[in-house]
Chains A and B, each alone.
Chain A
Amino acid sequence: MKPAAFDYHRPTDVVAALALLDAHGADGKVLAGGQSLVAAMNFRLARPGVLIDVNRIAELDYLRVEGGHLRVGALTRHAAFHRPVVDGPLGTLLSRVVEHVAHYPIRQRGTFAGSLAHADPASEWCLTATVLDAEISVRSLRGARSIPASAFFKGTFTTALEPDELITEIRLPLLDAGWRGGFSEFSRRAGDFALAMALAVLRVESGVIRAARLGIGGVADRAIRLHAVEAALVGREATESIFRAAGAEASRAVEPSADIHASSEYRRDLIAAMVARALAEAAA
């Protein structure tokens, strides 16, 4: 298999990359880890005329804690999260989630930012960004803006990014020691895309849920934040039966997608199970 021919550029700073994006418009594509884009190009599902390889832009390669946020530079690979990147619940949760993102060699190349830009409905990082209220910094020659995750994802493989925009950073709010995270995913084989998954973060005090954030992925055209289920959990006791009830409520809150991998009914059952398990893990 051969991708269609393209022109190749390898800028070494952000401004040069933005100039290239500006010059080539919709025909120009950012090449980050290439773990989604190159596969699509090999199938000729994508045939960009120009590739702008950002892998040598050192200023995008960082991961640091600052101002209450974990700041994830656009070149941060999935594998960077294998070990907790920050003390406390956030680092632990991210290291839990990353095990489910593709396979080990793919995690060595694929990037956090590339996952968000690609916006696969079954992306673990898109679900993480949605549940944790990530902020996505983007730049173009026209200027810079910051997009909340809630406004970033528009549908399957579709985001609020303009063709000339580059994601430069993702900011995840830190979770203080009172929070606990839980994640559950079902896929047929290790490393496959999720048929359904759930991510929960809870603040439990003396056995009572004081705050909750919850979302599901792999079941619709984008990750879904379950605000109503979150609200119903607050003030309740952190018990198995409450978690199972929340799972049932979550499964009724959406009309799950159907494809060759799973029917809508099956996904509905999976949602109930994944939500209950993610909540139980967060409360453990």
Chain B
Amino acid sequence: MNDRLAITLNVNGQSYPVTVEPRKSLADALREDCGLTGTHLGCEHGVCGACTVIVDGRPVRSCLMFAVQAEGLAVCTVEGLAEGEALHPLQRHFWEQHGLQCGFCTPGFLMLAAGAFEADPTIDEAEMIDVLSSNLCRCTGYQNIAKAVSLALQDMRAGV
């Protein structure tokens, strides 16, 4: 029981060979074994969304998935969002619209919105607002987050 398993995680297009217990969550493996601490953990039972990452093109809660389950799948975290120094439209608009205060929830919101757009590039604004209701922010309030995502959605559609 409890043997550690050697697996390779594919995160942001890079291979990370890691050895993990089956019970290790994807979130913990990303933070502790891959050194990617941009993914945050709040509640660890699916409610807050701070841990949201994209797996095979869909936003998911990485606290409710075991690292071993991600073997062979493409994982994308907040570290993979910007292209070099060029911020992703979501990041740019969060910055410009003050879509964050303490920033704890921000990686989750960014990956949630990026993942929802990746899953369905035709998603409209009302659907996106409903998607945003999946995650919790305890300090900014949701107005600026919604504003930032709406503006980013226009840019993402236009491909800028």
Q: What residues make up the interface of A, taking CB atoms closer than 8 Å to B?
A: 1-8, 10, 34-35, 38-39, 41-43, 49, 51, 53, 55, 79, 99, 102-106, 108-109, 189-191
Contact = CB atoms under 8 A, between A and B. Distances in A.
Nearest to B128: A104
B89 interface: no
B116 interface: yes
Nearest to B2: A5
Contact size range, B? 20 to 34
The 10 closest A-B pairs by CB, nearest first: A103-B134, A8-B22, A5-B2, A190-B133, A39-B45, A108-B58, A38-B64, A1-B44, A105-B59, A104-B131
A6 B5 contact: no
B21 A5 contact: yes
Among A10, A39, A190, find the residue whose CB has the most chain B CB atoms closer than 10 A.
Answer: A39
Interface of B: 1-3, 5, 21-25, 44-46, 49, 52, 58-61, 63-66, 68-69, 112, 115-116, 119, 130-131, 133-135
B58 A103 contact: no
Nearest to B131: A104
Contacts of A104: 59, 112, 116, 130-131, 134
9 contacts: A2-B23, A5-B2, A8-B22, A35-B64, A38-B46, A39-B46, A41-B23, A106-B134, A191-B133
Contacts of B63: 38, 42
Contacts of A105: 49, 52, 58-61, 112, 115, 134
A35 B69 CA distance: 13
A34 B26 CA distance: 13
B130 A99 contact: yes
Nearest to A4: B23
B59 A6 contact: no
A255 B45 CA distance: 31
A34 B55 CA distance: 15
A168 B102 CA distance: 45
Contacts of A191: 133-134
Nearest to B129: A190
A191 B61 CA distance: 15
B66 A38 contact: yes
Contacts of A43: 45
A49 to B, nearest CB: 7
A51 B22 contact: yes
A35 B116 CA distance: 18
A57 to B, nearest CB: 13
A182 to B, nearest CB: 20
Nearest to B132: A104
Given A34-B66, A103-B49, 19 more contacts: A1-B45, A5-B1, A5-B23, A7-B22, A8-B66, A34-B69, A35-B46, A38-B64, A39-B46, A42-B44, A42-B63, A42-B64, A79-B58, A103-B134, A104-B112, A105-B112, A108-B59, A108-B60, A108-B119
Given A105-B60, A105-B112, A6 B22 contact: yes
